[in-house]
A and B are shown apart, each in its own frame.
Chain A
Amino acid sequence: MMQSVHDGAHLRRFFSSVAAGAIVAASLISVPAPAFATEELNALVWCDHTDPALVEPFEKANDVKVNLKVYEGTGAALSILDQSRPGDWDVLVIDGVDVHRAIDLDLLAEMPADALPTADIFPEVRMEANNTKDGKTYAVTEKFGYNTVSYDKSKVDPKDMQDLSVVFSDKYKGRIALYDYYLPMIGLAGLGLGKKTAELSEADMPALKEKLAEMRAASKQVSDVVSSQTALATGEVDILVGGGEWITAVLSADKPNLDWTIPEQGAVRWAQSIGVMKDSAKQDLALKFVQYIVSPEGQARLATSSCYWAMPANSKAGEHLTDPQKAALRFNEQAEYLKKTQLYPIPSTELDQQFQDAWTEMLQQ
């Protein structure tokens, strides 16, 4: 590219102008340096916690800097924790169904039950069986939503979407995207078999694999959040299996035709829990952060955070949400949805491997 420049004076001029440019650029960039906080809190979270509108009020109120590391899927979180030293992390956000995995690995600290607004949390998502062990509370539900069927109502017959079996059939072949996260998708495949997610076992693997293959055959792609959204928004596909309010709510203003429903067979419900890490040296501050996240204000901000919208676990959050926000979240229709949906499957380590292998196998078909 820049061959043989032998003129020294010229070179110096060139170099200094480049250097000057770089310095100007660097100084422009480093202007909005945040005020120096005295303490830091490290949290391992799903991406919805990274919205400054959620975290900044806490940082300001407590003069603390919250460092956030984003992961997708419990496996990824455990993988990151594997690679960390004890004490690296103060707060953990984890799928509700996986809280016991974390407790068994001795990762989470007990939280005083009276420090949490348990009474305000929707009874269906309190999930005591998941968040507590031997009467001790280790985590609290903060947000929930559904992995179900999202679709473009101008392109498909909404009535068809009431029947989950349509995604295993040829009716919309090539117009379906599958969300690329094995747990809820295997849960949905299980529902297609008429199995409860909690009852899936090794014996179901052959039938599950077959169901996944049917799903795969009818689909055009298996994709993460951005590709799924792109595909739905551009008309690449008309149906997203595994999607829900969390993928359509942000698009509702630009694409009013996007809708989601829970079919007759039901759908999978996800729930995130938040807890304090056992090895954290900042237990009090970490607990304070958890309390902030599950407070009505924190909950309203979390529900409408930039990465994805979903229902707050705290029913009092409704007081801090606007009516259009509530409408997008379908705040008042939750009772019916909660009844029709089931939690993620909770596989043993062994079964989890088999789930993952089945998923990879399906991707390569």
Chain B
Amino acid sequence: MTATTLEDADRRKAWGFAAPALLWTLAFFVVPFLFMAAMSLWKREGREIVRVWNLDNYARFFSENALLQGLVNSLEITVIVTVLSVLLAYPLAWIIAERVPKRFQRMALILAILPFWTSYVVRSYSWLLVLSKNGVINQMLTGLGLIAEPLEIASTRTATVIGFVHFFVMLLTLTIYSNLIQLSPNYRRAAADLGANAFQTFWHVVLPLTLPGIMTGAFLTFVLCIGDYVTPQILGGNNELVLPQIIMLQLGRRADFPMAAALSIILMLAVTVAYVLCARWLKIERA
């Protein structure tokens, strides 16, 4: 057996092992995606999809305020949700990692993500009940005499944001926590030895080192949030539409696949921009 044939055999084997996953991804992800991209350049006329290349769908997107506003709403809500979730989750992850005794940390984490295991659809619906005018929150607040009139939260952007933040706090707590516990205490000791106070240590040492965890979580939050249909549909009261709702309208009410495809590509571009912004912190590395 010569070296070259062994290499060839190895290479064949390697391709053989990787092939199923690669082919699956090509067949059921790349091809459909390209097909959809092509379709976004077709047009629906009457009940027929006309396969003539054109940019009408995109032109319509930029000329119709209702559609453009959908993207703006999506971006605003997603950014608000991402920022709020990070701000809420970071202290939580930090307290679990630093204040909670080691042997209870697992328990604390599991508790923090337990509601994650209720059905997603049911969870949104449950928020609807919690936030409604006679819901638990208003009953509690008026009962305590904190407010005289019930708060109008349900069916607003606030409700959508609360529903989202609830979900993503759980997700971000996980990614940030796993990053925090990997930090060697030596860094902090070194910083303290150099005369840094607790805040300086945090700002100049801990925070930069946990940035990858934050960014990974934030990016995931962005992707999942901007593409979600369920939460705004149940909690938003249709007071403003986000892009996924508009996409579902195109599909469900008028079977306008090309328009839905064009809007999806636009949604995709938004995610790509976010990816480029976070790319330097997002890596998968082998142990």
Q: Report if A and B touch in the complex (beta carbons < 8 A).
A: yes
A327→B32 CA distance, assembly (Å)? 53
Q: Contact check: which of B134, B135, B246 meets A360 at CB < 8 Å?
A: B246
Q: Assess whether A79 is in contact with B253, with CB atoms less than 8 Å apart.
A: yes
B51 smallest CB distance to A (angstroms):
15
- Given the interface contacts A222-B237, A364-B241, does A356 sit within 8 Å of B132 by beta carbon? no
Q: Contact check: which of A75, A227, A230 meets B255 at CB < 8 Å?
A: A75
- Given the interface contacts A73-B252, A79-B251, A364-B65, does A222 sit within 8 Å of B129 by beta carbon? no
Q: Assess whether A363 is in contact with B238, with CB atoms less than 8 Å apart.
A: yes
Q: How large is the interface on B (under 10, 10 to 19, 20 to 34, 35 or more residues)?
A: 20 to 34
1/0 per residue B124-164: CB within 8 Å of A? 01001100111100000000000000001011000000000
Query: B residues within 8 A CB of A221?
Result: 155, 237-239
Q: Contact check: which of A73, A180, A234, A361 meets B132 at CB < 8 Å?
A: A234
Is A204 close to B, CB under 8 A? no
Is A153 close to B, CB under 8 A? no
Chain A residues within 8 Å of B, Cβ to Cβ? 1, 72-73, 75-76, 78-79, 82-83, 105, 174, 180, 220-224, 226-227, 230-231, 234-236, 349, 353, 356-357, 360-361, 363-364
A36→B157 CA distance, assembly (Å)? 48
B241 smallest CB distance to A (angstroms):
5
A360→B46 CA distance, assembly (Å)? 19
Chain B CB within 10 Å — which of A72, A73, A174, A230 has the most?
A: A230
Q: Contact check: which of A227, A235, A357 meets B128 at CB < 8 Å?
A: A227
The 7 closest A-B pairs by CB, nearest first: A79-B255, A221-B237, A75-B253, A221-B155, A222-B238, A234-B132, A234-B134
Q: Assess whether A234 is in contact with B135, with CB atoms less than 8 Å apart.
A: yes
- Residues of B229-245 at the interface with A, using a CB-CB cut-off of 8 Å, are 233-234, 237-241
Is B50 close to A, CB under 8 A? no
Q: Assess whether A227 is in contact with B237, with CB atoms less than 8 Å apart.
A: yes
Residue of B nearest to A174 (CB): B152
Q: Assess whether A223 is in contact with B155, with CB atoms less than 8 Å apart.
A: yes
Chain A CB within 10 Å — which of B70, B155, B233, B253 has the most?
A: B253
Q: Assess whether A75 is in contact with B66, with CB atoms less than 8 Å apart.
A: no
B173 smallest CB distance to A (angstroms):
12
Q: Assess whether A180 is in contact with B238, with CB atoms less than 8 Å apart.
A: yes
Q: Assess whether B134 is in contact with A82, with CB atoms less than 8 Å apart.
A: no
Query: B residues within 8 A CB of A174?
Result: 152
Q: Assess whether A231 is in contact with B252, with CB atoms less than 8 Å apart.
A: no
A29→B129 CA distance, assembly (Å)? 29
Query: B residues within 8 A CB of A78?
Result: 47, 255
- Given the interface contacts A363-B238, A364-B241, does A230 sit within 8 Å of B132 by beta carbon? yes
B214 smallest CB distance to A (angstroms):
19
A105 smallest CB distance to B (angstroms):
7
Query: A residues within 8 A CB of B246?
Result: 360
Q: Assess whether B234 is in contact with A227, with CB atoms less than 8 Å apart.
A: yes
Residue of A nearest to B49 (CB): A82
A361→B69 CA distance, assembly (Å)? 10
- Given the interface contacts A220-B155, A364-B65, does A236 sit within 8 Å of B238 by beta carbon? no
A110→B28 CA distance, assembly (Å)? 41
Query: B residues within 8 A CB of A231?
Result: 132, 154-155, 237
Q: Assess whether B239 is in contact with A73, with CB atoms less than 8 Å apart.
A: no
B130 smallest CB distance to A (angstroms):
11
Show 7 A/B contacts (Cβ-Cβ < 8 Å), sorted by A.
Answer: A1-B109, A220-B155, A227-B237, A234-B134, A235-B133, A235-B134, A361-B66
- Residues of B93-124 at the interface with A, using a CB-CB cut-off of 8 Å, are 109
Query: A residues within 8 A CB of B152?
Result: 174, 220
Q: Assess whether A236 is in contact with B132, with CB atoms less than 8 Å apart.
A: yes
Q: Assess whether A363 is in contact with B241, with CB atoms less than 8 Å apart.
A: yes
Query: B residues within 8 A CB of A227?
Result: 128, 155, 234, 237
Is B174 close to A, CB under 8 A? yes
A73→B132 CA distance, assembly (Å)? 27
- Residues of B246-283 at the interface with A, using a CB-CB cut-off of 8 Å, are 246, 249, 251-255
Chain B CB within 10 Å — which of A73, A82, A222, A363 has the most?
A: A363
Q: Contact check: which of A79, A349, A353 meets B252 at CB < 8 Å?
A: A79
Query: A residues within 8 A CB of B66?
Result: 357, 360-361, 363-364
Chain A CB within 10 Å — which of B128, B240, B246 has the most?
A: B128
A84 smallest CB distance to B (angstroms):
11
A222→B241 CA distance, assembly (Å)? 11
- Residues of B12-64 at the interface with A, using a CB-CB cut-off of 8 Å, are 46-47, 64
A80 smallest CB distance to B (angstroms):
8
Q: Contact check: which of B65, B238, B254 meets A356 at CB < 8 Å?
A: B254
Given known contacts A230-B128, A363-B239, what 18 new A-B pairs fall within 8 Å (CB)? A78-B47, A79-B252, A79-B255, A83-B255, A226-B125, A227-B155, A227-B237, A231-B132, A234-B129, A234-B135, A357-B64, A357-B66, A360-B66, A360-B241, A360-B249, A361-B66, A364-B65, A364-B66
